[in-house]
Amino acid sequence: MSSSSSVGNIAPNDGSSSPPASAIVAQAMSGSHVVKIDGYSRTKGLGNGKYIKSETFTIGCHPWCMRYYPDGCVTEDADWISIYLHYSTAPTNAGEVKAEFKISLLDHDRQPVALYSRCSQGFGYQSKFQDFPCSQLRTFSTKDTGWGFGQFIKRKDLEESPYLRDDVFSIRCDVTVSKEIFTEPIPQHVVVPPSNMHHHLGQLLLAGEAADVTFEVGEETFAAHRCILAARSPVFKAELLGPMKEKTATRVLIDDMEARVFKALLHFIYTDSLPAMDEGGAAEIAQHLLVAADRYDMERLKLICEGKLCDHICKSTVATTLALAEQHGCGALKKACFKFLMSPGNLKVVMESDGYEHLRSSCPSVLDELVAKLAP
């Protein structure tokens, strides 16, 4: 919000310069926290009014936690799952904290499900558990306990939905904490738009203009530019600009990679981002791209793929994912797989799968590590 100033010399504005301006700034800090309920069926029967508390997380310099009531918070919510946001300690800044929140059920790509996303815009902390419409403006005070939704989702609806898979579902809480409001002058600077180099390079790849090398991958061909590939990958640099045979070749055969994976690799090289992927095949593409990133020494792409795979660990994929992590030196992914397998229920199912046999034959040492971690 800005306003023209009338202080100082008054002169006609001929359009040659902008008038002085000021801004009223209402600061806010936002963040999110995801709670994964792994073993939902074993949480049922905890009892009405009883909850399981999440780890404490910090947003806006304030400590928060979430409470999950599998059998509802109060008697009238007995058929529902209740979710509440709590302030972990009593607020100390003048006795109150102003904030807003939204709680959402997540799908398997960790995106909010619109039907089960509920918000309380301008909410506060008070002593009773209530649901609040978005129009209410309240604050957290030192005497308050928690806010949220007693009737977040019916247990029956969750159990019949696609969002509960392998006895696992996730919820996310988005919190925005209001800070101090102040005024400040608006500096008159030239507005520089954000970089769009990646768009130009992406168009260059699509058009194939001035391409000087063609890759044959399966039955498909891809035109590219040696200098761009060499700038992004030391392996491509050695292959295309170094003394290797591909230096003078105009066509290069890639015989150990799928065409769709190489296409995604080129997209990342030119745009520094992953292409749009089908929801069902995102994890599989991430596995293949991780192998390609390791092969061409592209660390950022490798870390992006590692992070995506950490979010897609389940009973049907954990064995092959763990083998992949061990073979390509992905420490964070390996740790996430170990954590998943530390659950006896998960481990039993995985040991009966074909993926486990592949893991045992290809990476026997990693099973020794797992056994050592499981030992009392």
Q: Domain limits of the chain?
A: 24-184, 196-306, 313-376
In this structure, what is the dihedral angle of CA atoms 112, 114, 118, 123, given to the nearest 10 degrees?
70
Read off the pLDDT band of 35 (50, 70, 90). very high
**The pLDDT of residue 112 is above 50:** yes
pLDDT of residue 286: 93
Which has the minimum average pLDDT: 3-17, 37-51, 208-222, 230-244? 3-17
Which has the minimum average pLDDT: 55-64, 230-239, 348-357? 348-357
* Burial of residue 184, with CB atoms counted within 10 A of its CB: 0-12 exposed, 13-18 middle, 19 or more buried: exposed
Please identify which residue in the block is written with the tokens 């009966």: 352
* Contact yes or no for 262/254 (Cβ under 8 A): yes
DSSP state of 165: B
Give the pLDDT mean for 71-76: 93
pLDDT of residue 91: 55
CA distance 232 to 207: 20
* Contact yes or no for 146/84 (Cβ under 8 A): yes
**The pLDDT of residue 25 is above 80:** no
How does strand 80-87 pair with strand 96-97?
unpaired
pLDDT of residue 40: 94
Under 8 Å CB-to-CB from 260, ≥6 apart: which residues? 285
pLDDT of residue 32: 93
pLDDT of residue 163: 94
CA distance 85 to 57: 11
CATH number of 24-184: 2.60.210.10
* Contact yes or no for 101/174 (Cβ under 8 A): yes
pLDDT of residue 280: 65
CA distance 332 to 323: 13
**The pLDDT of residue 364 is above 80:** yes
Query: What is the CATH architecture assignment of 313-376?
Result: Alpha Horseshoe (1.25)
CA distance 269 to 292: 12
DSSP state of 117: E
The CA angle 115-284-302, to the nearest 5 degrees, is 105
Which has the minimum average pLDDT: 174-183, 233-242, 302-311? 174-183
Give the pLDDT mean for 279-291: 87
* Contact yes or no for 205/224 (Cβ under 8 A): yes
pLDDT of residue 356: 81
Give the pLDDT mean for 191-205: 91
Instruction: Answer positive or negative: Cα dihedral of 323, 329, 333, 338.
Output: positive
Mean pLDDT (the chain) is 83
pLDDT of residue 222: 96
Pick the CATH number of 196-306 from 2.30.110.10, 3.30.710.10, 3.10.20.600, 3.10.620.30: 3.30.710.10
